[in-house]
Structure 1
């Protein structure tokens, strides 16, 4: 609610309105206003076609970036490194259960940690274990 009030007060176009009304009055008025569910009725014009909407947007494809952002866990690096520090080398399944993140989230975090040199992956297949490196221990010490 505070963000809404701050954004409303920062909007120069709403400044004349806010001189006469409070933000709460604006919210109440918006809630009480009846809206038409059909956009063609509201303005007596035809709804835009899908092609018109698509051509107006013309945004770059952000698929992988959006997926990566959604899968990212806040402080995921610290979470995984702390778990490895406390429990020693672990398999991916065990690490997923102990950190309570999805396997996709864990894989993204592990990829980032491996790139930074904070973890080392030993073995392969079912015997594959993830262990924290000296760099990872140093990073974890700085974060705590």
Structure 2
């Protein structure tokens, strides 16, 4: 996937990572099928950060932590103090990843240190490290550049 090019040309798109309390939404499309559109949302909270890749076809209001997004496909919650309850009652503590399923949507989480989708990523990984692996896993090409601030 790549950011929507202007004038049909391919260009480098550079965005600044959001400051605490802010979010950044980047519209993406699949180059092989331009009708397939997605939204990459990056939220930086006061104590946590979230990365979400969602279908870009339906627009709904979202909360600050993007817990109520329209059609999330994958979400990474970066927060060492997070507590999440899976549908089976298992409690997940710390940073984790959600992968949407037909049965549970994005309600199921896996701790970052137990997942195998984002290569080399664990609970102590930095936001830029997680974003780079998230970008590669979601096949977001390297024409998308995110400039990180100190402390993120």
| TM-score class, shorter | under 0.3
Q: Which has the higher contact order (CA 8 A, sep 6+)?
A: 2
Q: Which one has the bigger strand percentage?
A: 2
- For the pair shown, the structure with the greater C-alpha radius of gyration is 1
TM-score by length of 1: 0.21
Q: Which one has the bigger helix percentage?
A: 1
